[in-house]
Every structure is written in C-alpha cells, then in structure tokens.
Amino acid sequence: MLKKFCLGAPLFLCLLLAAPTLRAQGKGKDAAGHPWWQHAVFYEIYPRSFMDSNNDGIGDLNGITSKLDYLKDLGVDAIWITPCFPSPQVDFGYDVSDYVDIDPMYGNLANFDTLVAEAKKRSIKVILDFVVNHTSDEHRWFLDSKSSKTAAHRDWYIWRDGKGPNQHPNNWLSTFGLSAWQYDPNTKQYYYHYFYPEQPDLNWRNPAVERAMFDVTRFWYKRGVSGFRLDAVDTLFEDPNLTDNPVAPGTDKFGRPKTIEKNNKKLPEIHQSLQRLRSVADEYDAVLIGETWTQNVAQLKDYYGESNNELQLPMDLMLTDLNFSAPVFREHIGAVDAAGGWPTYVITNHDIVRSYTRYADGVHDDSIAKMMAGLYLTLRGTPIMYYGEEIGMKNTDPESKEQVKDPIGKLGWPLEKGRDGERTPMQWTSGANAGFTKGTPWLPVPPTAKTHNVETESKDPNSVLAFYKQVLSLRKSSPALLEGKYIALNESDPNVYAYLRQNGNETILIVLNMSATKQEPKFDLTKQGFSAPNTKALVQNSSKAPDGPLKTVTLDPYGVYIAKITK
C-alpha cells in the first residue's frame, strides 16, 4: 500500500498520504489481526416488521431499541436495518427522498442516536442500508432534475430522447415489470429506472453524484454507524451508448420477452466507484456489505476487488438458490471458500421466500431449519441472519391480489405474489398480534405465530430458537469455527454433508444429514492427522454418536451433529 502512495513522492508526503489508510488498517482488529466484521454475526431487520413501539401497526426504531437485549442474548453482533429514511414508501423505503434523516413513521434522528448508543452498550454495531442506484422521484435532486433540461441536477439522473415518437430510448426492462424508461411530458425526454418508475437511477458517471453520495456515508459514520449494506450494487452503471440488450427465447414472469441484461448490469465501472467508496469507509473502520446477485463464483470474487479494496462482505446470494442436496451445497461452498475472499453467507432475506419455507418438506420442517443453521453458521465466513429465521418463521403470502401490499405482487399476480410473505411481523409471543403491536399490523401476523414465537420457544430446549442459540454461542467460543480452515469430508456421500473446521489444535466436526432418510456415515480422518480420533458432542439435533472413539454417526432425517475432535 505504502509503495502505491510513494512512487516518486518525497518521504514526508508519502507518509502523510498513507496515514489514513494505515490508521484504518490498524483500527478495529483483534490481537490476531482480524477485523471486527469477520467474527461478527449480522442480523437483518426489516424495521416495518420488527417491533412497533407506538402501536400504529408499523415497526419503528424505538421498537428495535426495546429488543436489543433479545438480540444480544441470541448472539447478534451487528444489526443491518433496511431503509428507515424519509420515503414515499412506494418500495417500502427503497425509494429514499432524503438520505440524511429518519422517516417519521420510524421515529427521528434522536431515536436513531439512542438506538446506536444503546446498541453500543451491548457491543452491537449498527449497519444502514445505502440505496446507491436510485433515489425516490420525490428526492429534491430528482425534483430539480425533472424541472428543466438545464436544471442543476439534470445530469444527476439518466435522461434520454426516445428513438422516435412514442419510442423508448432502447429495449431495457425494469426488473419490476414494464419498460425501464418513463416519459416526462414536461421536458419531453425519458428517464431510466431499473426498478419502479418512482425510483429513477442516479447517474454515477457524474462526479457530483459520487461526491454527494459519499458525503451521505460520512454523515452516518459520524453518527456512529459501522457500515452499509449497498443496495442493488450490480446496477450502478449502464452502457452510455444505450446498446439494446440481447433478446432471449421465452417470456418472463410479467409476460415480457426475456432479455439478457448485458448492457445495464455489472459494468466494470462499478469497481472504480466501489474502491473510492471503500477508501471513505476505511477512514471510519466501516464495513461494506454488497447485495451482489452473481451468477458464479468468479463474479462474486470480483466484488472483493483485486487487492481486497472493494467490498469486504459481498453476499453469496447464490446460496439461496441452490438445489437442496449435499453434493450441490458441498460443491458450491467449496468453491466459495476457495475463492480467496472472506465468504458472506445468507440463506434468506426480505426479497426471497424465507428459507424455512423454501426447504420445508411438510414433515421435518423444524429439523430442516435447524440443519440449515448448523450448516451456514459453522462455515468459514460471516453469516447474515434475517429476523425471524431463528424462530422458524415461514412465508405467509397474500391469498388474493386485493391483499397484496408490494406493488410487484399487484402487477405480477398470481405468478409473482410480491414479497409480503417474507416480511410479516416478527413473532414475539403467542398472544394478540404475536406481541408485535397493539394496533393493526401493516401485514397480517401468520397463524404459525401460535407455536413459533420467541416467548414459547425460549421455554423449549428443543425449539428452533434454542438450537440457534446453541450454535451461535458455540461459534463465539470456538476459534476453529470463527476462523479455522474448512475441510470437506466424505466428498462422494450423496446425502450427508460433512466437514471439519480446524484452527491450531482445535478441530470441530460438522455432520449434516441433508436427506429424509436415516444415515450412518463413517469417517476416516487419517489424512487430516487423526489416526484414532475421539469425539465430544457439542451441539446435536436428531443425531447420535457416543462420545469417545469416532465410529459411526447416526443421523435421523435432517439430523445435525457437531463435535470436538481430539487425538
């Protein structure tokens, strides 16, 4: 790093230039040199749905503050709050009309400061969502931009003439249905929006946009925020020549001809912007998490940057789309682990069907939820949980188009039901509205709240919640789980996914039955240096193996066995 700064510069100047970076590298690391976010467990909070403190039916910041003890006890180190900034709420906050304030429905800046201070007392860091690709059409930048072709902010967005009368500038499509171009009769041009028309894309080729957006991050860092989750980062840049996207066979879920988003996604320019954004983050020892929808591990790797100078935590969202089988998971995780970066694992979030529902077979649902926790919370990398996952919350989709709140569900019904199902209120108790609100919840509370809620599960040692707590607490106390090597075992087993995590003298064995039948895998760990290994079980569900010499592990359907291995 020093070398890069010093080329041809006098020594005093090079030291001066390098100082902020060196300071950032030294800050926030543990004795072994690990930055704080490598050992942290992150937890995503959808603020509308977490806890309502003023009983208007919508969750809020004070609601989150009131649940910090729960999160601490669960084993959470950092919370990522999805957008809580002023917004017309067309996309429930992902249409930001002011980046440096709090939407009154969630509280105010004072409430935010209290949340950060209370979180800090519990050693919980606060991460905000940074909607980098677009603003709301009600943001003052866009209001000015659309006011005239010569407005100061005109070039902050992507305005173009149509190809001809009533013809869009090109064939790009909005991922939320219809075209990506919206005509403005006032200035007789179209503006580009990859998402809803109320979410015009910012023009990141304009340096003024970059400066203003970087200042937004500084504002929050100074208020105690420890990093950002970058929304829709794949779509930051578009081909300035507006080349049409290739058309593919078939139609999409909105009935439009399919296109390959070659010219408006993952353009190389993204990386330069991310490097500059990272320099700002480094000044504050902050972490950048990416909403990185990649098709392969090579693309994921690109997001770390050539010298790990872009995103520290690009999410592996491919994991949420794998076929549920031991060989598929083994192959994918092996490739991500070997890619060279620090993996970031996610099994569910506010845009995809909850993992509980995705993997459920209707018979072993809780066991499967525990098995998935036993899996991704023991991998080498940083996990990002989603609220309610730890109590086995399932998707509860709207039953009719009239019930839908998410606009994409209204447009795409019934093929696309929208994302309401994964955003229902957190289930705190078995009582009215699951203890989320005394008012009318903005989305209905699922019927499963009667059995799957924090209050009930806290009293049950066999609950999904109890299992999550055990695994999270083991993870915290085990250097092997926190940073040890990942070593796949029994690599041709079609049903059982097993691996070791190893750090110095500590070795942990993780055995996961990813099938609906009983399994009895055997292990030969000679190659790993154990000719006669002994085991001591640490965490289990639906599995048996006597402590002592390692022979067979017996696993019921979807059983989990986690044990310490000694010579």
Q: Considering beta carbons, is residue 36 or 80 the nearer one to ligand NOJ?
A: 80
The least distance separating Ca ion from the CB of residue 437, rounded to whole angstroms, comes to 7
Q: Which is nearer to ligand NOJ, 346 or 454 (CB)?
A: 346
Of 52 and 103, nearer to Ca ion (C-beta) is: 52
Cβ 129 to ligand NOJ, closest distance in Å?
8
Site size toward Ca ion, by CB under 5 A = 5
Quick one: CA torsion of 420, 289, 469, 27, rounded to 10 degrees?
A: -150
Residue ranges in 103-142 that form contacts with Ca ion under rule CB under 5 A: none
Question: Which amino acid, one-letter code, is at 524?
Answer: D
Site map for Ca ion, 29-68, x if CB under 5 A?
Answer: -----------------------x-x-x-x-x--------
**Cβ of residue 349: shortest distance to ligand NOJ, in angstroms?**
7
Tokens of 476: 């915290």
Binds 52: which of Ca ion, ligand NOJ, none (CB < 5-8 Å by kind):
Ca ion
| Contacted by 232, from Ca ion, ligand NOJ, none: CB < 5 to 8 Å by type | ligand NOJ
Taking the least distance from each CB to ligand NOJ, the nearer of 173 and 498 is: 173
> What backbone torsions phi and psi does residue 438 show, to the nearest 5 degrees?
-95, -5
Closest contact distance (angstroms) between CB of 70 and Ca ion is: 18
Residue type, 179: S
In the complex, what is the shortest distance from the CB of residue 293 to ligand NOJ, in angstroms, rounded to a whole number?
A: 9
Q: How far is CA 508 from CA 76, 336, 375, 451, 528, in A?
A: 22, 20, 13, 33, 12
CA distance 399 to 509: 43
Q: Any alpha helices (H) in 384-453, and if so which ranges?
A: 407-412
Cβ atoms within 10 Å of 305's Cβ, excluding its own: 17
Active site residues: 231, 283
Q: Between the CA of residue 191 and those of 69, 157, 265, what are the distances in Å? A: 46, 7, 17
Q: Which of the listed partners (Ca ion, ligand NOJ, none) does 316 bind, with a CB threshold of 5 to 8 Å by partner kind? A: none
Q: Which is nearer to ligand NOJ, 63 or 93 (CB)?
A: 93
The site partner of 195 among ligand NOJ, Ca ion, none (C-beta below 5 to 8 Å per kind) is ligand NOJ
Whether the Cβ atoms of residue 67 and residue 50 lie closer than 8 Å to each other:
yes
What, of ligand NOJ, Ca ion, none, does residue 118 touch, CB below 5 to 8 Å by kind?
none
Neighbours of 468 (CB within 10 A): 23
Beta carbon of residue 231, minimum distance to ligand NOJ (angstroms, whole number): 5
**Which residues neighbour 343 within 8 Å (Cβ) at sequence distance 6 or greater?**
316, 336, 337, 379, 380, 381, 382
Nearer to ligand NOJ, 107 or 200 (CB): 200
Residue with the closest Cβ to ligand NOJ? 94
Residue with smaller CB distance to ligand NOJ, 350 or 452: 350
Give dist(CA 517, CA 556) in Å, integer.
Answer: 7
Helices (H), 135-206: 140-145
- Minimum CB distance to Ca ion, residue 105 (Å): 7
User: Dihedrals φ, ψ of 205, to 5°?
Assistant: -80, -10
Angle between the 365-376 and 464-477 helix axes, to the nearest 10 degrees? 10
Residues in the site for ligand NOJ, rule: CB under 6 A? Answer: 91, 94, 131, 195, 231-232, 291, 350-351
| Contact partner at residue 94 from Ca ion, ligand NOJ, none, CB < 5 to 8 Å by partner kind | ligand NOJ
Residue 200 DSSP symbol: P
Q: What's the rounded Cα separation, in Å, for the pair 130 and 99? A: 8
If contact means CB under 5 to 8 A according to the sort of partner, which of Ca ion, ligand NOJ, none does residue 56 touch? Ca ion
For Ca ion, the binding residues (CB under 5 A) are: 52, 54, 56, 58, 60
